[in-house]
Structure 1
Amino acid sequence: MYMNKLSVLAAALLISVTTVAQRKPEVKIDKSLITTKVQESLGKKNMTAMDLWELGRVSAEGLSPDGKTLLYGVSYYSLNDNKSEKDLFALSLADKSVKQFTAEAGGESVLKIEANGDVIYSFKGQLWRKNLHGGAAVQLTDVEGGLENVKFSPDGKHILFSKAVLLKNYHSVDKYKDLPKSNIYIYDDLDYRHWDSFNDGRFNHPFIASYTDGKIGEALDILKDEPYYSPTAPFGGAEDFTWSPDGKSVLYVCKKKFGKDYATSTNTDIYEYEVATGKTKNLSEGMLGYDTNPVFSPDGKRLSWMSMKTDGYEADKNDIILVDPSTSQKVNLTAHWDGTVNSFAWSKDNKKIYFVAPTRGTVQLFAIHVPVNLNVRSLPVIEQISDGQFDITGIVGELKDGLVVTSTKMTQATEIYHYAFKSKKLAPLTTVNDAHYARLNETKVEGRFTKASDGEDLFSWVIYPPDFDPTKKYPTLLFCQGGPQSATTQGYSFRWSFQLMASQGYIVILPNRRGMPGWGVKWNEDISKDWGGQAIRDYLSAIDDFSKESYVDKSRIGAIGASYGGYSVFMLAGVHEGRFKSLISHCGLFDMTSWYGTTEELFFANHDLGGAYWDKKNEKTYTDFNPIKHVDKWNTPILIFQGGKDYRVPIGQGLEAFQAAQLKGVKSRLVYMPDENHWVLSGHNAQVWQREFFDWLKETL
C-alpha cells in the first residue's frame, strides 16, 4: 500500500560535523581515494541523526556497453540549502580507479551510454552529452518545460518522453479564465486526489518525436485526448515505456480507467502503439491485475513483463510473463514458484532472466532458465543464486563472471557490488560511505525464531546497541512494519534507521509477521481482511518471547511503526495489556470508517478491508479490527506524527488519535508536518522528526 556519500578527504575529515554538513559537494570524493591511515586516525562514536544525513546516497546509473566502466551517482544533502546535490562518478572496473564525471549544481541522471563512450544524461530537464574519455559537457536540447522519462529509439532517430497534458478543467483558473487569482477545485467523480496532490486535470502522456543532434521535431501524443496516466501515477517512470527492437512501435503501461473505476482498480495493461499507423493493441488483454515493466530480450525475440493476477489486489504475487511477439504466445515463468518478484533483468545470452525477490527476511538473487520452446509445458527451472545477511536491491548489469548489483544491510546504505557466479560472493565496487561507517561503533544484527500463537515459526531480526553486554538490561523497541504487505529485510532507511535507534542504546526487534513477502504466498495473503488478528498476535508473540531474555528490561518496552505499522501501534495501544511503556505512531490508520471515506486508492481498502463500512459483511473490520473501538483501554504515553499532505492516510487519522488520547488524559504529543506526505522528505523536517522521536523515548521509556 505504502507505496521505499561520503565524508571529506585528509584534513577536511577533521572538520566538525556541522561544518562538513554545510560544505558544498566539492568534498564528494569516493572512499577508495582515502588512505587507511586517515581512516584509522578517526575516533569511534555512536551514530547520530546528523551522521545519518551526512551519508552519501548511491545510485547505479549504468554500465558501458563494453562492460569496462560503471557510472554511478552520489547525492549529498545540504542542511544549509535543505536539498540534495547529486553528481556522477565513473569507476573503471579494470583498475578500480574513480573519477568525478559531473560537478554542476543540480542532479544528473544517465539515460544511455553509447559504444564510443558518449554518455547522454538528463540535467535540469534537458539532454546533455559528455564522453567517458574526456571533453566538455555539451547541452543537446533546450525544450520549454523540459523532458521527462526519455527513451531513445534503437536507431537513435526518435525519442519517447512524457509530459503533462491539460484535459479536464478541475482547477478554477482553468475553468474560469477571467478569475486567474481563484484557487478552487471542482469534481464530479472520484480520483480527485492521489498520494499528496489534488488532480488538477493534467494527465501524464507519452510523446514521440524525431531527434537529430539535439533537435526535436513535432511531438506526437500517443494517448491524444484520453484522460489516462502513462507513466502511471503517482510513482511510474521511464520503466513504463520501451521501444520495440525494430523501432516501429512503442510499448507503454497504462490503466485506461477513469473516475471511480480508476480509484477501485489496479488493472494496468501493456499497450503497443504502431508509429506508422497509430494503431494501438492491448498485449495483456484479459490479465486483470497490475501489468508493468515491459522489457525485450537482448536479441529482441522475446518480451517479458511483471504481472499480478487479481484486480484490486496491489500486493498480489508478482510473476514474470514471457511472450513470443511473433505468435503472441504467453507463459507465466514463475506461476509455480511460491514467492513474489521485485524486479528482473535479462541475461546477455537470452537464456536466463535474473530477478530479485524477498525470501526469509532478506532480498536475494534468483535465476530462471528461459524455455526455448514455449509449447513445452515443463516448469521452468528457478534457482536462488545468492544468500546472506544482506538485501540485493537491484540488478545493474551483467559481466562475463557475474552481475553488478546494488545491495544494502540494516547497518549499511546502498552501495554497488559485483556478484560472482563462481564464488557466489559480493565484492564492493563502490565504498562511498566506508570512511564514514569506520568512525561509528558497530551494531550487531541477528536473526531469531519464535513460535507464533498458532504454532507457526515466526522470524525476527534483532539489532543490538554498540558494545552490547548481555549482563546488562536494555530498553527495547518493537518495530511494526507498514504495507501491510511490505517486507522487513536487510533494507536501509534514512528515517526508520534501526542502526541509529540501536546506537542510542535501544535493542530493536523486527518481526516478519503475517502479511510479509518472503515466507510463501499464503503467509503474505493471510493479513488481508485480518488486519487486527493474527498479525497483531504475531507482534505480541515476538515481544513476549524476546522479553524472556535477561538483558531485556521488561519495564522499558516500546512499540513503534508507520502506516500499517502506525495502525498496529494504535491497535496495540488498546490490547497490549501492560506490555508497553511508550508508543510512537507515524501516519497510522486510527478509525477505519473515516479512513475508508477519505483515502484515495480505494482498490486497496476494498481488497484488504473487504470493502465499505456500510456493507455488513465487513463489520469485523470496522469493529474488532478498528483501533478507535479500543480507545477505552488506552493508558500508555503515545507520540503521533502526521503529514498534512498525506492523502493515503489523511490528516484526520492522526488528529483523531491525538484528540482521543488528550481527552482521555493519556500523555500524548502530536507532531504535525503540514508540508510532508506519507513520508518525510525535507532534511530539516527529518531532523525535527528524529529529535522528537528520541526525545519522546527519553521522556517515556
Structure 2
Amino acid sequence: MTLTATKFTPEVMLSAPRRSPGVPNPSGTLALYTVSTYSFKDHEKTTNIRVLDINTGTATTPVDEAGASNPVWLNDDEILYVRSGDKGSSTLVVRNVTASASSSFYEAGTIQGPIGDLKVKALADGTVALACSASATPDGNLFNPETEVKPHSTARVYTSLFVRHWDTWNSEKRSSIFYGVLDKKDGKYALRDGRLTNALAGTRLSSPVPPFGGTGDFDIGPEGLVFVAKDPDLDPAIYTKTDLYFIPLKTFAESSPPPPKIVKTPGLEGYSNSPVFSHCGRKVAFTRMRSNQYESDKPRLLLVRDIGNPDETEEFFATPDGDGAWDSRPESIAWGHDDTQLYVTAEHRARTLIFTLPSTPSRATSLPTPLPTPDGSVADFRLYAASSPSSSSKTDHLFVTTTSLIDNSCYSLTHPATATSTVISSASKQGRSFGLSRAQVDSITVPGPDYDVHALVVRPSTWVSDAATGSTTGSRRATKKYPLCMLVHGGPQGAWQDSWSTRWNPAVFAEQGYVVVCPNPTGSTGYGMALEDGIRGQWGGRPYEDLERCFDWVVANMPEVDGERAVALGASYGGFMINWIQGHPLGRKFKALVCHDGVFSTLNQWATEELFFPIHDFEGTLYENREGYEKWDPARFINEWATPQLIIHSELDYRLPVTEGLAAFNVLQAKKIPSKLLVFPDENHWVLKHENSLVWHREVLGWINKYSGIDDEQKLAEETEALKV
C-alpha cells in the first residue's frame, strides 16, 4: 500500500492510502483496520479491510469487496463487518481472517436499512451483544432512504429553532442506537430472529449526537448500554447540554427495552462524552463539561461507581472552586485490564498524548503523567492484556495509532509497565515515502509580556540540504531565504497540532518553497484553559495581537524567512482572522491572503445553526449585546482592505453560509482589489471530495505562489534547466 514520491504535492497527499486506526484482537496478535485509496486516473475510491500481524508488521487483505465497512473483532480469529446491499440493506458478514478458504466467511443476518458504528460484547452465556447506529423514523422504526416514499413537494416548514445543522436540513428522522444478539450454533454466528431493536424508541432521545457522533457516544457492557444524548427539553440551537443515560439489558434480546436512566452530575450541565464500561461491567468512566452554552468548556473526568445506581458520580481532580486541578481536556478513555487504571488522551502543547491515572478519584492524588508515544499526536488507542514470557500475570499493552506533520499513519505499541514505545508499522515510512523528514519540523515560542505563544514550523525538505551546519553546535544556519506562509487555525477553540491533515497540511505548503508557521494564539486548546477561555469577547483583540507578535518575531529571529514575500491563510475562525487582518496593519505585511469559509460580518453570526457558539464567544445574544458583535466586525474596516485575496466558500456550509464569502468577494471586486472566488456547491464547511480538494489546492497554491514570487522562481529554475539541456 506504500506510495512513493520524490516531492510531496497535493496529488501525492490525496492519492496516498488512508488507514483507519488499528484495533487489536483480544490476545494482541493481530490488528484490524481499513484502507481507502483514491485514483485520479480512474476517478474512483476503493476500500478494503486489512489485518496486520503485530509481531512481524506484515499485512493481509482478507476482505476486498465493494460496500464492506465497520469491521470489528468477534474473537481472536473472526471479524464481523457490514456489507451494503441492494435497496439500502445491510448484511452482517462473519469472516475468519486467519483462513484462506472461501468457506471462511458467511452471512449472519440482513437488516433492511443502512447501519454503522458497530460494537460487540461477548456475554457470559456465550452469545455476543451487538449495537449499532442507524437513522430511525418518528415511530422508532429503522429508516431506509432507498425505500422511502418521496413526497410530491420539497417544501419544509419549521416552527422552532435548529432548522439545519452542519450540511443538512433537519427532519423528523433521528439518529438512534439499535441492538441485537448473535447466537452461535454449529460454529456459526447468526442474528437472533434476524432483527435489531431500537433502544431509544419512544424516548425523544437521539444518539449518536449529530453531526459527528459515532462509536464514542455509546458503549456496551454485560448489563446494558450507556450513551450520550441531547437534553430533549432544551433547544439544541441554544444549549449544549448532553446527558449520559443507562439502559439495563440482560440478554440484548429484549424486544421492549426499559426506559433509559439518566446519570446525574450536579454542577455539570454541558456536553457529556466518551462513556466507557469497566471490564467488570459495573463502572463507567466518561467526561462532562460544566457550562451548558460553551461547546469548548473543559471536560471533567467522571466515574460512575455502580451503573445500577446512576445517581452517584465522582469527579477526578475536583477542587472546591469547581475549576478542577488538572488543567487539560480529557477525551478518549480506556480501562486497564484489571480496572485499576485509566488511560486518557488529552492535548498538550500541539500534541495529543496518553495519560495514565488510578481509576478511583480518591487514589488519583497526583496529576496524570503522559506515556511515551511516537512523534506526533495520538489519533486512537486500544488496550489489550498479555502475559510476558517470564510471567503468567497479564499486563496492559496499548496499540496506538498516531499521525504527525510528516506521517499520515503510524501504529505502535506502548507498554505502561516499562514506559516504552515501539513502532510496528508506518504507512508512509515515517514520511520518507513522501520525501519528507522529521528534520523539517520544528517549533518556536514567541515571548510576550503576559504569556508566550507557541507555534509549529515546517520548512521545505530542500532546507535540510540548503542550510549549512554550524561546526560547533551542529545547528543549521540559513543559506537561502524562503517566503513566510502563516496559517491561522479555526475554532477559535482549536489548535495546530503535530498531526496529519488532508485539508490543511503544512507540508504541502512547505514543499512549494515556504517556511510555514502555524501559531497557536489566544483561544488555542492544549495550553491551559486560561489561554483558551481568553478568546471570549476578544475575537479580533488578543489573537490578532498574538499573530502580529509572532510575525515580527519570526522575521527578526529566523534568517531563513523572507518576510517581504509573506502570505497568510485561514479557514472558519481563521477565515474571520484573515478578513480582520485585511482591515488592519498586519494585512499590509502580506503579499496575498486566502480566506476559506470565513466570517465577513459578525453581525451575521445568527445565520449559523449552533447559536450557543456566538452567544458564548460574543458574551450574549445579538439583541442583548449588539456592541459586542460590532466591536469585532471585519466589515467595519473594509475601507482599509487592499491586499490581494482569494475567497473560498461552499454552498452546503450551514455553519457560515455562503453569503459570507460572496459579500467579501463583492467588496474586493468593487474596490478593484485583485481577488478571486472559488465556490463548491456540494461541499460543507470542509472540502472533502478528492477531486474538489485537488482543485482547492491548485487554486490556493496558484494564488499564493503568484504573489509570493515562487511562480517566478519556478519559471526561472525551469528555464535554467532547459538551457543546460
Instruction: Please indicate, yes or no, whether the TM-score normalized by the shorter chain is above 0.5.
Output: yes
The Cα offsets for residues 373-408 of structure 1, whole Å up to 9 and x where unpaired, read as x6x487355222237742122212245474210111
Does the Cα contact within 8 Å between 1:369 and 1:381 map onto a contact in 2? no
Q: Which residue of 2 aligns with 1:271?
A: 245
How far apart are the structure 2 equivalents of 1:204 and 1:86?
25
How far apart are the structure 1 equivalents of 2:49 and 2:116?
19
How far apart are the structure 1 equivalents of 2:418 and 2:247?
44
Does the Cα contact within 8 Å between 1:126 and 1:146 map onto a contact in 2? no
- Identical pairs, percent: 27
Does the Cα contact within 8 Å between 2:108 and 2:191 map onto a contact in 1? yes
Give the TM-score normalised by structure 2: 0.84
How far apart are the structure 2 equivalents of 1:88 and 1:379?
43
The Cα offsets for residues 583-642 of structure 1, whole Å up to 9 and x where unpaired, read as 00111111111122x1001111111122322223x513x222111111111000000110
Q: Which residue of 1 aligns with 2:594?
A: 584
Shift of 1:691: 0.3
Equivalent position to 2:305, from 321, 324, 336: 324
Matched, 1:500 2:508: yes
What pairs with 1:94-109 in structure 2 (closer than 5 Å)? 94-109=55-70
Shift of 1:179: 8.8
Matched, 1:311 2:292: yes
What pairs with 1:14-413 in structure 2 (closer than 5 Å)? 45-80=6-41, 82-115=43-76, 117-124=77-84, 125-134=90-99, 135=101, 136-152=104-120, 154-155=122-123, 156=127, 158-167=129-138, 180-212=151-183, 213-246=190-223, 249-257=224-232, 261-275=235-249, 278-284=258-264, 286=266, 287-325=268-306, 328=310, 329-334=312-317, 335-371=324-360, 376=362, 379=365, 381-386=367-372, 389-399=375-385, 400=395, 402-413=397-408
Q: Which residue of 2 aligns with 1:41?
A: none
Shift of 1:491: 1.2
How far apart are the structure 2 equivalents of 1:383 and 1:262?
36
Does the Cα contact within 8 Å between 2:22 and 2:411 map onto a contact in 1? no
What pairs with 1:617-656 in structure 2 (closer than 5 Å)? 618-620=626-628, 622-656=629-663
Q: Which residue of 2 aligns with 1:416?
A: 411
Q: After the TM superposition, which of the residue ranges 678-687 and 265-274 deviates more from structure 2?
A: 265-274
Shift of 1:82: 4.2
Matched, 1:428 2:423: yes
Shift of 1:217: 4.7
Shift of 1:668: 0.8
Shift of 1:357: 1.1
Does the Cα contact within 8 Å between 1:211 and 1:217 map onto a contact in 2? no
How far apart are the structure 1 equivalents of 2:418 and 2:509?
34
Q: After the TM superposition, which of the residue ranges 584-593 and 433-442 deviates more from structure 2?
A: 433-442
Does the Cα contact within 8 Å between 1:85 and 1:106 map onto a contact in 2? no
How far apart are the structure 2 equivalents of 1:436 and 1:81?
26
What pairs with 1:559-578 in structure 2 (closer than 5 Å)? 559-577=568-586, 578=588
Partner of 1:85, secondary structure, is strand
The Cα offsets for residues 126-151 of structure 1, whole Å up to 9 and x where unpaired, read as 21111132043222222211333333
How far apart are the structure 2 equivalents of 1:504 and 1:426?
34
Shift of 1:184: 1.2
How far apart are the structure 1 equivalents of 2:430 and 2:530?
43
The AA in structure 1 aligned to 2:198 is D
Does the Cα contact within 8 Å between 2:503 and 2:688 map onto a contact in 1? no
The AA in structure 1 aligned to 2:617 is D
Does the Cα contact within 8 Å between 2:594 and 2:646 map onto a contact in 1? yes
The AA in structure 2 aligned to 1:254 is A
The Cα offsets for residues 527-574 of structure 1, whole Å up to 9 and x where unpaired, read as 122111101111111011101133222221111111111111111111
How far apart are the structure 1 equivalents of 2:495 and 2:707?
29
Q: Which residue of 1 aligns with 2:493?
A: 485
Q: After the TM superposition, which of the residue ranges 396-405 and 534-543 deviates more from structure 2?
A: 396-405
Does the Cα contact within 8 Å between 2:381 and 2:399 map onto a contact in 1? yes
Matched, 1:450 2:450: no
Equivalent position to 1:512, from 509, 513, 520: 520
What pairs with 1:522-671 in structure 2 (closer than 5 Å)? 522-548=530-556, 549-577=558-586, 578-596=588-606, 598-616=607-625, 618-620=626-628, 622-671=629-678
Does the Cα contact within 8 Å between 1:110 and 1:122 map onto a contact in 2? yes
Query: How many residue pairs end up in the alignment?
Result: 644
The Cα offsets for residues 332-391 of structure 1, whole Å up to 9 and x where unpaired, read as 1243211111212111121111111111222212111223xx6x4873552222377421
The Cα offsets for residues 87-138 of structure 1, whole Å up to 9 and x where unpaired, read as 12222223333222211123432223314x2111223232111113204322
Partner of 2:409, secondary structure, is strand
The AA in structure 2 aligned to 1:284 is K
Distance 1:223 1:512, change over 3 A: same
Does the Cα contact within 8 Å between 1:60 and 1:396 map onto a contact in 2? no
Does the Cα contact within 8 Å between 2:82 and 2:93 map onto a contact in 1? yes
How far apart are the structure 2 equivalents of 1:416 and 1:483?
28
How far apart are the structure 2 equivalents of 1:120 and 1:219?
16
Shift of 1:285: 5.1
Matched, 1:6 2:16: no
Partner of 2:553, secondary structure, is helix
Shift of 1:205: 2.1
Gaps of 5+ in 1: 8-12, 14-43, 169-173
The AA in structure 2 aligned to 1:68 is T
Does the Cα contact within 8 Å between 1:527 and 1:534 map onto a contact in 2? yes
Distance 1:530 1:73, change over 3 A: same
Does the Cα contact within 8 Å between 1:111 and 1:122 map onto a contact in 2? no
Shift of 1:672: 0.4
Does the Cα contact within 8 Å between 1:595 and 1:653 map onto a contact in 2? no
How far apart are the structure 1 equivalents of 2:61 and 2:179?
33
Does the Cα contact within 8 Å between 1:61 and 1:110 map onto a contact in 2? no
Distance 1:543 1:105, change over 3 A: same
Distance 1:50 1:255, change over 3 A: same
Q: Which residue of 2 aligns with 1:33?
A: none
Q: After the TM superposition, which of the residue ranges 185-194 and 57-66 deviates more from structure 2?
A: 57-66
Distance 1:108 1:217, change over 3 A: closer
The Cα offsets for residues 133-172 of structure 1, whole Å up to 9 and x where unpaired, read as 204322222221133333335423553333323339xxxx
Shift of 1:59: 1.2
Does the Cα contact within 8 Å between 2:351 and 2:376 map onto a contact in 1? yes
Does the Cα contact within 8 Å between 1:403 and 1:420 map onto a contact in 2? yes
How far apart are the structure 1 equivalents of 2:642 and 2:400?
47
Gaps of 5+ in 2: 85-89, 140-144, 184-189, 318-323, 386-394, 468-477, 709-725
The AA in structure 2 aligned to 1:564 is Y
How far apart are the structure 2 equivalents of 1:396 and 1:611?
41
Does the Cα contact within 8 Å between 1:574 and 1:634 map onto a contact in 2? yes
Higher relative contact order (CA 8 A, sep 6+): 1
Equivalent position to 1:699, from 683, 693, 706: 706
Distance 1:205 1:689, change over 3 A: same
Query: What is the aligned-residue RMSD (CA, Å)?
Result: 2.5
